[in-house]
Chain A
């Protein structure tokens, strides 16, 4: 055990206040007798398409880095505007920060070599739902071809059918209109491949939501102090059609703006205080956006640019 481990273990044990068990067991029995259901576990407590710990877990390794183009960004998915695409139904859904599905949009990323636990499979067995390594409450759906199952196909069959790939209409940016072909030319020219169904989809009026945001290591950065002059801002966001980006801007003793990048299951931006910045607060404002141009309500975090510690 390292010095840090000993420090943490000792301090937490000194600080913690134990509960008094006197009469607790009887009180619990009385409540259950009376039909009280207490606090049943929720699927979001641990993720996985059902209550926690209920599924036969299968380990798998991401073979190729699953790097998603943002849902709906022109070219990233490569589909015409409004096309009905195969999307994915996420078991836990709203809090998932990343997902992918066979022939469907891919949002977010799982680096190659990531070892995760599979918690379910799609009805067509082409996708597996895996526990988000950064969020116990989220399931990420990935194409089966992108992962290597520990137990092979037999292990896959042991997984419950926890989610299905469903037909979902997502609003994509329209492609540039092609120049009209000359109508007077009777000669049969080369024909382009027929486009799949391209009926316009319904307008997405649902704004994304930033569900969680935090700073690491904490709210301070130290001016001109090489080891501590940066902070990383993190955010989790959700949207019915997928979050395409999170914009960040800041003001105060230093101002600017940038776009957060998706890494490790959350949106991140590493901020470094420039030399010469005055001491004081820097207020960061985050807003998530989707492909339809909807923006989430802004959330703010404050970093204090302080003097370098002695």
Chain B
């Protein structure tokens, strides 16, 4: 195990503590956890519908990144962790039906939603859940984590055009779905 933790700094300065991964990439773990962890857990929870399992999946992905880091530098760690963690949660659900059951359990039906949550938000959440996984990932990175198309593309190792295509399809499907919900009201 080649990584090491710099324990020489006081606890109150944890944001400066960094971890060197096996490949020598220095990761400011405390800074990442302080600034990105909450949002990444939120993103994985939205993408997978498994809010309870999201935190575990994200921590597993961070441990995996530190223990067996990729050979090349990851420029957008939040996107990287989001995709790896949400894919692993997805893997746990062996079928779409099982995934949909999980989505149902998190209370996306109007009667099961917190009163503070508007019906429109519920519609958006339901519409998001109807998208294929990759569109959900791109949508969540863009709209929840405010990442640009270029940043997402860089983080996922795909072209900007690919992200734009996924985002375009997602927006189209979401718009159709939300328009339909609006018609129902």
Contact = CB atoms under 8 A, between A and B. Distances in A.
A218 B174 contact: no
Given A45-B87, A53-B156, A217-B176, A38 B60 contact: yes
A236 B46 CA distance: 24
Given A218-B177, A309-B183, A212 B132 contact: yes
A24 B125 CA distance: 27
A94 interface: no
Nearest to A36: B63
B124 A11 contact: yes
A133 B165 contact: yes
A11 B55 CA distance: 21
Given A53-B75, A228-B180, A37 B68 contact: yes
A28 B59 contact: yes
Interface string B91-128: 00000100000000000000000000110110011001
B56 to A, nearest CB: 10
A99 to B, nearest CB: 17
B148 interface: no
B22 to A, nearest CB: 10
A21 B183 contact: no
Contact of B70 (A54, A131, A214): A54
B55 A15 contact: no
A41 interface: yes
B39 interface: yes
Interface in A9-27: 9, 11-21, 24-25, 27
Interface in B44-61: 45-46, 51, 54-55, 57-61
Interface residues of A, number: 62
B178 A7 contact: yes
Interface in A154-173: none
Contact of A40 (B33, B55, B68, B96): B68
A59 interface: yes
Q: Which 3 A-B pairs have the closest CB atoms?
A: A19-B41, A38-B63, A309-B183
Interface of A: 4-5, 7-9, 11-21, 24-25, 27-29, 31-33, 35-42, 44-46, 48, 50-55, 57, 59, 115-117, 131, 133-136, 212-214, 216-218, 220, 228, 309-310
28 contacts: A4-B171, A8-B174, A11-B124, A12-B46, A12-B139, A16-B46, A18-B42, A19-B58, A24-B59, A28-B33, A28-B62, A29-B5, A31-B63, A32-B63, A37-B68, A38-B65, A39-B88, A41-B80, A52-B83, A53-B72, A53-B155, A54-B157, A117-B159, A133-B161, A136-B83, A214-B96, A217-B176, A218-B180
Interface of B: 1, 3, 5, 14, 17, 19, 29-30, 33-34, 37-43, 45-46, 51, 54-55, 57-68, 70-72, 74-75, 80, 83-85, 87-88, 96, 117-118, 120-121, 124-125, 128, 130, 132, 134, 139-140, 143-144, 146, 155-159, 161-162, 165, 169, 171-178, 180, 183-184
